[in-house]
Homo-oligomer: A and B are copies of this chain.
């Protein structure tokens, strides 16, 4: 619990209405979309960059942890205030400061909902491609901090590929501006990537400059249905080797199909071993040709059927299945480890095979779905945490998924972030020298260590 003097100081900056200390508030702000939680000592909602600077200075003076939070949809524990202190809720800073169609850049405050930017960009014929499932809830500050992805990553890349610059408040209250509105061209030092994906451990982001791209003229959506999941996985690597780069290449296993069908009753093929949802976009002539070629590849790889959407409404219907996996999870078990194990795309079939083995070995339900086209898979392990023995089996399965991913030259996290959910495995991914480098950089940039402590390179639990 913070001292009344500190609360008074904080209230003087943002107004008493924007400082919360009631126990019920602390409970609400103690978690994200993972199963973990830890209570803060106060929630502060800054309304401007100057207020952020003042709050960070107060925190620094009193050695109080500062953990940033957007919408709290994080899947790795990023916004959980492990060491108490202040949760800095950034959602009041939600202005789109600029959408510039000539230079194809947007400048936003961190609390802008991703969907608000895509809407604003669309109005001037531009696209902001990263679209995590949380598109309509999550903030761009969170997206940048966790380096969010989404189904369009295969063609367009993830958040990292769209951040041209940020402004961030360091723990001494100084403001660093990185990058600029020059799209991409910049030699010399650029610290943008220090703040992208570092989950608020190095600075508090107060503005973001993002790259936009022209909206493709047309798109074509199809669904390929397979008896065997392995054949769907094989289609992914064959398609990616063909020279065609689809916008989307999503995979769903039988468990995902059946769960979504139970949930929605839309006539999905519940006997199928797997399916792919594929989209190609671009100019009309290419899209038609690409769609035809992809459809042929699917059949050659063993698809029993390829449904091609003829209208936008039919495309939307095909997407509905993919979009409903998350809500459908809940039918299988109350708890989940939602992973984003990512491997080189040619190895998607191997990862799928390994996960099927793990599923068998530990007898826990694992949804196998994800953005297969860029190797970003979502093996989602289901369990009930009240059943201790089952939870243990789920944890063992999770451990093996992490190890297999790293053995395949992959990364622990394609889009959800490290937070502390994956922090025990971070050293195994970076190697000892990389881990030490991460610690030294954190110490150099945040010498007092007040920013999101206990996460990533400063996780205090056991390392694998």
Show the binding face of A for B, using Cβ within 8 Å: 76, 100-105, 125, 146-149, 153, 157-158, 160-161, 170, 174-178, 180-194, 197-198, 214, 237, 240-241, 243, 245, 282-286, 340, 342-346, 371, 374-376, 409-418, 422, 426, 429-434, 436-438, 440-441, 443-445, 456-457
Can you name 18 A-B residue pairings with CB atoms under 8 Å? A101-B241, A102-B237, A147-B188, A153-B184, A153-B185, A174-B433, A176-B433, A177-B434, A180-B410, A180-B411, A182-B342, A182-B343, A185-B374, A186-B197, A188-B197, A192-B193, A283-B283, A443-B444
Q: What residues on B are CB-neighbors of A436 within 8 Å?
A: 174
Contact of A414 with B147 at beta-carbon distance under 8 Å, contacts A189-B457, A285-B283 already known: no
Per the bound structure, the CA–CA distance linking A58 and B283 in Å amounts to 57
Known: A180-B409, A183-B374, A440-B445. 12 other contacts (CB 8 A): A158-B184, A181-B344, A185-B411, A187-B413, A187-B417, A187-B418, A188-B417, A193-B193, A194-B441, A214-B243, A284-B285, A285-B285
Q: Are B214 and A342 in contact (CB under 8 A)?
A: no
Residue in B104, B182, B342, B443 whose beta carbon sits within 8 Å of that of A410 in the complex = B182
Q: What residues on B are CB-neighbors of A342 within 8 Å?
A: 182, 185-186
Per the bound structure, the CA–CA distance linking A356 and B170 in Å amounts to 40
Q: Are B431 and A441 in contact (CB under 8 A)?
A: no
Q: Which residue of B lies closest to A184 (CB)?
A: B157
Q: How far is the CB of A193 from chain B (nearest CB, A)?
A: 4
Q: What residues on B are CB-neighbors of A433 within 8 Å?
A: 170, 174-177
Q: What residues on B are CB-neighbors of A422 within 8 Å?
A: 188
Q: Are B438 and A441 in contact (CB under 8 A)?
A: no
Q: Which residue of B lies closest to A418 (CB)?
A: B188
Q: How far is the CB of A200 from chain B (nearest CB, A)?
A: 12
Q: Which residue of B lies closest to A285 (CB)?
A: B285
Q: Are B177 and A431 in contact (CB under 8 A)?
A: yes
Which of A105, A158, A411, A432 has the most chain B CB within a 10 Å cutoff? A411
Q: What residues on B are CB-neighbors of A418 within 8 Å?
A: 187-189
Residue in B158, B174, B443 whose beta carbon sits within 8 Å of that of A185 in the complex = B158
Q: How far is the CB of A437 from chain B (nearest CB, A)?
A: 5
Q: Are A189 and B283 in contact (CB under 8 A)?
A: no
Q: How far is the CB of A140 from chain B (nearest CB, A)?
A: 15
Which of A190, A283, A412, A456 has the most chain B CB within a 10 Å cutoff? A190
Q: Are A345 and B375 in contact (CB under 8 A)?
A: no
Q: Which residue of B lies closest to A145 (CB)?
A: B187
Q: Are B191 and A197 in contact (CB under 8 A)?
A: no
Which of A170, A371, A444 has the most chain B CB within a 10 Å cutoff? A444
Contact of A375 with B182 at beta-carbon distance under 8 Å, contacts A189-B456, A214-B245 already known: yes
Per the bound structure, the CA–CA distance linking A431 and B176 in Å amounts to 8
Per the bound structure, the CA–CA distance linking A157 and B185 in Å amounts to 7
Q: What residues on B are CB-neighbors of A443 within 8 Å?
A: 444
Contact of A102 with B444 at beta-carbon distance under 8 Å, contacts A178-B434, A184-B158, A188-B417 already known: no
Q: Which residue of B lies closest to A340 (CB)?
A: B187
Q: Which residue of B lies closest to A243 (CB)?
A: B214
Which of A147, A417, A426 has the most chain B CB within a 10 Å cutoff? A147
Per the bound structure, the CA–CA distance linking A158 and B184 in Å amounts to 7
Per the bound structure, the CA–CA distance linking A416 and B187 in Å amounts to 6
Q: Are B186 and A102 in contact (CB under 8 A)?
A: no
